[in-house]
Structure 1
Amino acid sequence: MPKNQTQSSAKELLKSLESTKDGCIYVVRDRIRWAFYVKGGKLVYASHSLESFERLERHLRALSRELPNLDDKLRSQLRLMFDDPDPENAKYKVTSEILCIEYIAILWLVNEHHLPSNMASKLIARVIQEVIEAFLCLPNGEFKGIYYEHLLQDTYCSLSIDRILEVVEQRLKAWYDLGPTISSPYQCPYLVSQTSAAKRMSLETVHRLGRILRGFNFCQLGALLGKDPLAIARQLCPLVSDGSILLRDPLSPFDMLPRTYYLAPEEERENIEKLSETFTDETNAGDDISSISQVFTNQESKTWKIVCIDDSESMLSIISSYLGSEDFQVTLIQDSMKALMKINSIRPDLILLDIGMPSVDGYQLCTLIRKSSSLKDIPIVMVTGNKGIIDRARARIAGATDYLTKPFVQADLLKMMMRHLI
């Protein structure tokens, strides 16, 4: 592709990649940066700039069912190393903004023998599919692809663009057919009427359904349940239609992505003979409500013990209200001097730890917790208003598992719970 060749549709731009020399085609549309990496006329990676690391984490979580070593501890290590790496200490350095940081993380997983090459190929194929689904939803207009030299150190996946389009276009037709009831894979379903839902499933299943539908979008639910997000959307659609489930609009920044329902139907009704063997299509099996009932019935029912340590009473109150009381047993601690003794007696599942406290600050307390043989493996999330690389590095040295920046909303906190507990 010449450096500034312009196409009139997302599909035309993707089709043009087949004749592009090896490199990266970089597209900016509606403040979203899209990157498509091509080698030998085939797609080897794709990304967009909205929560790219969250996207990688979701797919790693789904893959952890096949590779248990991809657990929350390793995923947290990955985030601390690569989500905002210190340029002086990072093993892999980002030399250009078009070199996706999440791809560098995949390289590290492979090179450190956490991820076999064949599973890296499967992971990358799933990421490409999600990115292409969103890209094809963009309305027609000016698509200016800018070519850059190839920057990927290694590639593990090589996909035919024609086949990707076949697979994704069939999936988008299925998403379109769910509209206008469901119009985006990033919408968040909430159970609002247990009475209506109980007409379709047992009360126990309704209860478990309500526990997991608390701010996660369909893509996140897919990672949690080990299911295709499209299959989950299809199975929950009757409950949305009868008012048992309320759908909230995608949370920021996913609200910047186009809706699946606004695609023109004729663009989605191409004749497709078969799906690519690269992707697993679960969407045609078990679409009825009994299937989703089985999924939620199999979910573990547990009350998680959370300790929140912060000298601010208002912050403790906010965290407590965000977590609620049904799924989480929350212990609030204001005095950091007494925190270690209380933590020892509670043995929590996760600790939320403020950094800026008098007497014993969060770094010191985190270090003390990690020295205890009975507490050393508990996830510790440092909570702070500081966003700098040095603060993250200090948190990592002290033994923190993850990092939550103030101010945060309920969805941010629940996402942290999903990452380390659920």
Structure 2
Amino acid sequence: MQGNLNEIDIRSILQLIELGQRTGQLFVEACSSDKGSKLGVDDTASHYPANSNKQQSWLIFFVNGQIIYAANDYNSLSRLSDYLRHYQVKVQLDEQQLACLGTLNTAEYDYLWMLLEQNTIKPKQACSIIHCLVHETLFDLLNLHQGSFIFEVDSAITPQLTTLEIAPLLSKIVKQVQQWKQLYPYIQSPEQFPVLADIVKLRSSLPKATVNKLQHWADGKTSLRKLARYLNQDIVTVAKAIHPYVQQGWVQLVYSETANSLKDIQDKTLPLEQSRKQRILCIDDATSICTSIETILKTEGYEAIALTNPLEALSLVFQLKPDLIFCDIAMPELNGYEICAMLRHSQAFRFVPIIMLTAKEGFLDRVRAKIAGATDYLTKPFGNTELVILVERYLNSRKNRVIKHTQHLLIR
């Protein structure tokens, strides 16, 4: 049995294997185009950012319609190492042991059995790890909608430690997938890394113990997936726990390739805010508009940053802390109304000027922009003078409000 996932979904494939009481292996590979789409929103869901070169594949082993074991990137020991950390066991292999792994089964499965034979872990612990590995694999696959699969009837993987019934597993994980989708777009992927964005707000709003935990885990080096493995929790539980802090802008989620960029930004913003130029962020999928706004505003002495990917912009905006935002209305994946409404729900951006960019001049567009919380509306194409006047109007207005508020506090 083989085919494409746009013809039959993973859930149906697993149900067929269960009903037929099949023994063998199911191999699934994601399409390369499937890796860059948002998770749980459309039919091209994936956990990986667009510029990831990683070709994802999964392998599930069955006996009589039940799951024995499931592998993700099955030549790697990295995720097994994460689960073993919970039991304070480190992966330690010499060259001879490493060469023997994966000759019969997968390296991960062979190593798990090696630990059992050495009495390094107990059978109950090994069963728990296998359950977690299977659960994690099925969660990823139920979020996958583009790819190919092959089921090969074969003798069962040996030795066997445990078997899992497919129906109850699917019922549980389908519910988790539905809950996961509700966290979008604040949380987009298990492969995102939590980073503290506003430690001052965290300390003033949360108990010290909670802040200490967040500081320990939100280091930009530990992904949500790794965090779930370390804590022996499912990914949805961990994501739900961190979701309120991401909504408030106190914690930011980034992909590994942007983590270093964010650290550079943090270093640059360490001096007092008064000493830096006023920062303006432009979010527009049209490169020409971004380039134009950047050029005009930099000439006028502003710090201008342009982002053409709306999802990346939402991921970075809390760290950039712009003084004013230009946001295009018509963008793929996430439109300007949605971005504006999300930012207005955060205390950090409640009063930041947000100016919508659009090629339309309709009354309904202006109404929708106001409802979403937009400060003003700029129609494309626009002139240099028009742009600068609009920026000065709102930045000067905001500066005056800050000065008056400061003076009021001093008088009191």
In the superposition, the TM-score normalised over structure 2's length comes to 0.51
The one-letter code sitting in structure 2 at the alignment partner of 1:170 is: K
Structure 1 counterpart of 2:183: 178
Structure 2 counterpart of 1:94: 102
Deviations 1:255-287 (A, max 9, x none): xxxxxxxxxxxxxxxxxxxxxxxxxxxxxxxxx
Identity value in percent: 20
Query: Which among 142, 147, 150 is matched to residue 136 of structure 1?
Result: 142
Whose Rg is larger?
Answer: 2
How far residue 112 of structure 1 moved from its aligned partner, in angstroms, is: 1.5
How far residue 107 of structure 1 moved from its aligned partner, in angstroms, is: 0.9
Within 1, Cα distance between the matches of 2:186 and 2:16? 34
How far residue 203 of structure 1 moved from its aligned partner, in angstroms, is: 4.6
Indicate how the Cα distance of structure 1 residues 146 and 227 shifts in structure 2: closer, same or farther if over 3 A, else same: closer
Structure 2 counterpart of 1:14: 14
How far residue 198 of structure 1 moved from its aligned partner, in angstroms, is: 2.3
The question of 1:61 aligning with 2:85 is answered yes
The one-letter code sitting in structure 2 at the alignment partner of 1:10 is: I
Give the secondary-structure state (helix, strand or coil) at the position aligned to 1:179. Answer: coil
1:7-406 alignment runs, 5 A limit = 8-18=8-18, 19=20, 21-30=22-31, 31-49=55-73, 52-62=76-86, 64=87, 71-72=88-89, 75-77=90-92, 80-81=93-94, 85-86=95-96, 92-95=100-103, 99-139=105-145, 141=146, 143-147=148-152, 149-150=154-155, 152-203=157-208, 205-214=210-219, 215-249=221-255
Within 1, Cα distance between the matches of 2:249 and 2:62? 45
Indicate how the Cα distance of structure 1 residues 162 and 103 shifts in structure 2: closer, same or farther if over 3 A, else same: same
* Count of equivalent residues: 231
Within 2, Cα distance between the matches of 1:90 and 1:188? 30
Within 1, Cα distance between the matches of 2:144 and 2:114? 32
Indicate how the Cα distance of structure 1 residues 45 and 224 shifts in structure 2: closer, same or farther if over 3 A, else same: closer
Within 1, Cα distance between the matches of 2:148 and 2:230? 35
The one-letter code sitting in structure 2 at the alignment partner of 1:40 is: N
Within 1, Cα distance between the matches of 2:143 and 2:248? 27
Within 2, Cα distance between the matches of 1:249 and 1:234? 18
Gap regions ≥5 residues in structure 1: 65-70, 253-422
Within 1, Cα distance between the matches of 2:192 and 2:213? 20
* Superposition RMSD in Å: 2.6
How far residue 204 of structure 1 moved from its aligned partner, in angstroms, is: 5.8
Does structure 1 retain, via aligned residues, the 8 Å contact 2:21–2:66?
no
Within 1, Cα distance between the matches of 2:157 and 2:257? 31
Within 2, Cα distance between the matches of 1:200 and 1:228? 27
How far residue 90 of structure 1 moved from its aligned partner, in angstroms, is: 5.2
Give the secondary-structure state (helix, strand or coil) at the position aligned to 1:94. Answer: coil
Gap regions ≥5 residues in structure 2: 32-54, 259-412
The one-letter code sitting in structure 2 at the alignment partner of 1:12 is: S
Within 1, Cα distance between the matches of 2:173 and 2:215? 31
How far residue 111 of structure 1 moved from its aligned partner, in angstroms, is: 1.4
In the superposition, the TM-score normalised over structure 1's length comes to 0.50
How far residue 182 of structure 1 moved from its aligned partner, in angstroms, is: 0.8
